[in-house]
Chain A
Amino acid sequence: DADVTQTPRNRITKTGKRIMLECSQTKGHDRMYWYRQDPGLGLRLIYYSFDVKDINKGEISDGYSVSRQAQAKFSLSLESAIPNQTALYFCATSDLRGRDEQFFGPGTRLTVL
C-alpha cells in the first residue's frame, strides 16, 4: 500500500466551485506539504505544516487554504476555484530526523473549467 495517498486522483470542476483535495500518510512523519506543478515551472510550495498546530504559507498560498486534521491528514481547499488553478497537485511528507527528503503522493490532476 502507498505511504502517501491523495484523493481524488483526477477532478474536473467549474469556476467558482469549492473543492477539497485530501492527503493521508502512513509514514508517521510530522511534516506535510502541498505543492502544485505547472508545465515548465517545476513544483511550487502552497502550504506546509510541521505538526497539527502548525500551518505555514508557502510561495503561492493565495486562493488556497489548508487543514491539518491529524498527524496523518492534510487537506487543501480551493474556496472558489478559477481556471489558472488548473494544475497537478502533490502532497508530500518528510521526517526531519532523516534527510528531510520529500516523499510524494501520486498527485491530483485538477482541471477548472
Chain B
Amino acid sequence: AQKITQTQPGMFVQEKEAVTLDCTYDTSDPSYGLFWYKQPSSGEMIFLIYQGSYDQQNATEGRYSLNFQKARKSANLVISASQLGDSAMYFCAMREGIYNFNKFYFGSGTKLNVKP
C-alpha cells in the first residue's frame, strides 16, 4: 500500500484564489510527522509546513495552512490568495516514528498552475 497518496497529478487555480492540494497517508505508528515541500521548475525542494501527529492545532505558515484530519489520515495543504510564483510541484511527505529514521516517504506530487 502507498504510504503517501496524492491523487491530483495536476491542478489549475486562478490567481488570488485559494487552492487545496490533497494528501492522504497510511501508518499505524502513533508518532509521525507530515511535511509539504514545493519544487519550482528550477528543481530545488523548499520546505513549506510541518504537522506533528500529536499537534492539536492545524499548522499555519503565512499563506500556507495544513488541514489535518487525523481520523481520516489526511493532511491537505491549503494555499490562500494564490500567486503566480506558487506554480510548482508540491510534495507531501511523512516521517514515521520519532527516534528511528528508516521511514520517510514522499508522495508522487501535484503540479499546480496558477493562471493570471
A and B held together in a complex: yes
User: What is the interface of chain A, defined by CB distance below 8 A to chain B?
Assistant: 31, 33, 40-45, 48, 50, 56, 88, 90, 92, 94, 96, 99-104, 106-107, 109
Contact with A along B9-52 (1 / 0, CB 8 A): 10000000000000000000000010101000001110100101
Q: Do A43 and B91 have beta carbons less than 8 Å apart?
A: yes
Q: List the B side residues contacting A43 at CB < 8 Å.
A: 45, 91, 93, 106
Question: What 10 new A-B contacts, CB under 8 Å, besides A42-B108, A44-B106?
Answer: A40-B108, A56-B102, A100-B95, A100-B101, A101-B95, A102-B45, A102-B104, A104-B44, A106-B44, A107-B45
Q: Which 5 A-B residue pairings sit nearest by Cβ, starting from the closest? A: A104-B45, A42-B106, A43-B106, A42-B108, A107-B43
Which of A31, A45, A101, A106 has the most chain B CB within a 10 Å cutoff? A101
